[in-house]
């Protein structure tokens, strides 16, 4: 099992948990994070060594990525697994799929690459590499069906895990939020490369907002992959202090009045919890140019992609200007009708993500593939 990012580690851990309910003796090894490790996955490499963001950032670390690839292929050759489960992370996983297909190892791909953003040519390259594609967004199955890739939609695993721990009252008490205070939550991402570009913009936007919205409380959700001291250094440089929230990300998403978040899977988590938010994204100039040339969609926030329209504002690259962001934040917080409209449309996004139980349904599919593989081996022996 290979998951190269924090979100993949989360989804992988849920899948492993369900697989062990069905077959406790499964031996699972590969690339993942702490969550997969807690479920009993033997980690050959930890996800925090592979969380590069952007094309040129990957190029800088290409020699290491190649070593990881060589090591994983060699491990597969030696241990001869019955199945490979690849989770998102297409830059690595699609190349790995090509290598292990030569070893006649079947491949289940769980959490599809963002084929809806690529266009059809890249989907064609996946033909013959994937034995079973398991997708979590409703429109993805139609894409794979067009290219005759065996595919099933299982719903989104975020529906299983996206829930707060604290009540609103307990949350406000814990962070000393007064009755008349408006709460803004910042979620700058789980990779340092994105945090150092996005967080200063978020902090300056909140500083500008505070000149108009006097009773403002700003809380910053700290990802477990990010060092707290480095966040504090960024805040010191920015001259604006947000209170850091640890291990209560879903509570912050649910109980804040408005969220500023880095583009990524968090946009779906926020949509599920129903809190209005705005999306920021900034990367290096050259990485942005390359990405723009490859991506064929208008919206980058997953919540907007699922909705099929611009439900929440996006501030990407040169549009990620603090004055503009602060103005938009103020309008959403003060225009009650617009605020309610965003809430309602986020509710519709949640409905489109399917029913709870994605990990369980994905585990059933994996067990079916494993069963078919066992039958083929028995047939070959006889």
Same domain, 174 and 62: no
Cβ neighbours of residue 28 under 8 Å, at least 6 residues apart? Answer: 1, 16, 19, 40, 41, 42
* Residue 39 near residue 25, CB atoms below 8 Å: no
Q: Looking at residue 290, what is its pLDDT?
A: 46
- Classify 278 as helix, strand or coil: strand
Q: Looking at residue 121, what is its pLDDT?
A: 65
Predicted structure pTM score: 0.82
Same domain, 276 and 368: no
- Is residue 111 domain-resident? yes
- Is residue 237 domain-resident? yes
**H-helix or E-strand spanning residue 6:** helix 6-22
Residue 181 CA neighbour count, 13 Å, CB half: 15
Same domain, 370 and 308: no
- Is residue 264 domain-resident? yes
* Residue 201 near residue 225, CB atoms below 8 Å: no
Q: Where residue 289 sits, what CATH number does that domain have? A: 3.40.50.2000
Same domain, 210 and 134: no
The full DSSP string for 216-242 is: EEEEEEEPTTS-HHHHHHHHHHHT--P
Same domain, 214 and 296: yes
Same domain, 347 and 240: yes
Same domain, 14 and 40: yes
Host domain of residue 115 = 2-157+357-381
Q: Looking at residue 64, what is its pLDDT?
A: 82
CB neighbourhood size of 181 (10 A): 15
- Classify 367 as helix, strand or coil: helix
- Is residue 75 domain-resident? yes
Same domain, 250 and 136: no
Same domain, 196 and 343: yes
201-234 pLDDT per residue, tens: 999 999 999 999 889 999 999 988 789 999 999 9
What are the strands of the beta sheet with 29-32, ordered from one edge? 42-46, 29-32, 2-3, 84-87, 107-110, 132-135, 151-153
Q: Looking at residue 59, what is its pLDDT?
A: 62
Same domain, 295 and 228: yes
- Is residue 162 domain-resident? no
Cβ neighbours of residue 239 under 8 Å, at least 6 residues apart? Answer: 207
| Count of the separate structural domains present in the chain | 2
* Residue 262 near residue 187, CB atoms below 8 Å: yes
Q: Looking at residue 150, what is its pLDDT?
A: 95
User: Measured between alpha carbons, how far is residue 96 from residues 43, 84, 103 in Å?
Assistant: 17, 10, 11
- Is residue 176 domain-resident? yes
Query: How would you classify the pairing of strands 132-135 and 151-153?
Result: parallel
115-158 pLDDT per residue, tens: 766 665 678 878 889 999 999 998 899 889 989 999 999 999 99
Same domain, 151 and 175: no
- Is residue 261 domain-resident? yes
| Cα R_g (the chain), whole angstroms | 22
> Tens place of pLDDT for every residue, the chain, 382 residues?
999 888 889 999 999 999 999 999 999 999 999 999 999 999 999 987 776 554 445 566 678 888 999 999 999 999 999 999 999 988 889 999 999 999 999 999 999 887 766 665 678 878 889 999 999 998 899 889 989 999 999 999 999 999 999 999 999 999 999 989 999 999 998 888 889 999 999 999 999 999 998 899 999 999 887 899 999 999 999 999 999 999 999 999 999 999 999 988 889 999 999 999 999 988 655 455 445 544 555 777 889 989 989 999 999 878 889 999 999 999 999 999 999 999 999 999 999 999 999 999 999 999 999 988 766 666 555 5
Number of H helices, E strands in the chain: 19, 13
- Classify 14 as helix, strand or coil: helix
- Classify 153 as helix, strand or coil: strand
- Is residue 163 domain-resident? no
- Classify 10 as helix, strand or coil: helix
Query: How would you classify the pairing of strands 258-262 and 277-281?
Result: parallel
Q: Is 116 exposed, middle or buried (0-12, 13-18, 19+ CB in 10 A)?
A: middle
Q: Looking at residue 19, what is its pLDDT?
A: 97
Same domain, 93 and 220: no
């Amino acid at each position: 099992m290979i998951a190269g990012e924090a979100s993949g580690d989360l989804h992988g851990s849920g899948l492993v948990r369900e697989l062990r309910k069905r077959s406790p003796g499964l031996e699972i090894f590969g690339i993942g994070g702490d969550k997969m490790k807690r479920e009993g996955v033997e980690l050959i490499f930890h996800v925090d060594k592979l969380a590069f963001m952007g094309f040129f950032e990957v190029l800088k670390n290409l020699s290491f990525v190649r070593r990881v690839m060589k090591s994983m292929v060699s491990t597969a050759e030696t241990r001869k697994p019955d199945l490979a489960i690849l989770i998102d992370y297409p830059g690595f996983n699609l190349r790995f799929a090509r290598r292990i297909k030569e070893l006649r190892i079947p491949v289940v791909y769980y959490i599809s690459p963002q084929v809806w953003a690529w266009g059809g040519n890249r989907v064609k390259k996946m033909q013959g590499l994937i034995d079973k594609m398991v997708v979590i967004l409703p429109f993805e199955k139609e894409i794979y069906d067009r290219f005759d890739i065996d595919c099933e939609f299982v719903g989104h695993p975020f529906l299983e895990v996206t829930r707060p721990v604290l009540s609103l009252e307990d949350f406000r008490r814990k962070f000393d939020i007064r009755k008349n205070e408006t709460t803004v939550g910042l979620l700058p991402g789980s990779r340092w490369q994105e945090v150092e570009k996005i967080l200063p913009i978020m902090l300056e936007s909140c500083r500008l907002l505070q000149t108009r919205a006097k009773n403002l409380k700003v809380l910053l959700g700290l990802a477990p992959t990010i060092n707290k001291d480095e966040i504090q250094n960024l805040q010191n440089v920015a001259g604006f202090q947000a209170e850091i929230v640890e291990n209560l990300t879903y509570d912050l998403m649910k109980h804040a009045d408005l969220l500023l978040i880095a583009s990524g899977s968090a946009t779906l988590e926020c949509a599920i919890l129903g809190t209005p938010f705005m999306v920021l994204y900034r990367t290096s100039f050259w990485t942005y140019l390359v990405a723009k040339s490859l991506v064929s969609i208008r919206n980058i926030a997953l919540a907007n992609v699922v909705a099929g329209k611009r439900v929440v504002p996006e501030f990407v690259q040169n549009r990620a200007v603090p004055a503009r962001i602060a103005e938009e934040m103020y309008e959403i917080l003060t225009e009650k009708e617009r605020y309610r409209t965003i809430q309602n449309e986020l509710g519709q996004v949640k409905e489109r993500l399917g029913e709870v139980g994605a990990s369980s349904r994905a585990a059933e599919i994996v067990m079916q593939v494993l069963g078919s593989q066992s039958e083929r081996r028995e047939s070959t022996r006889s």
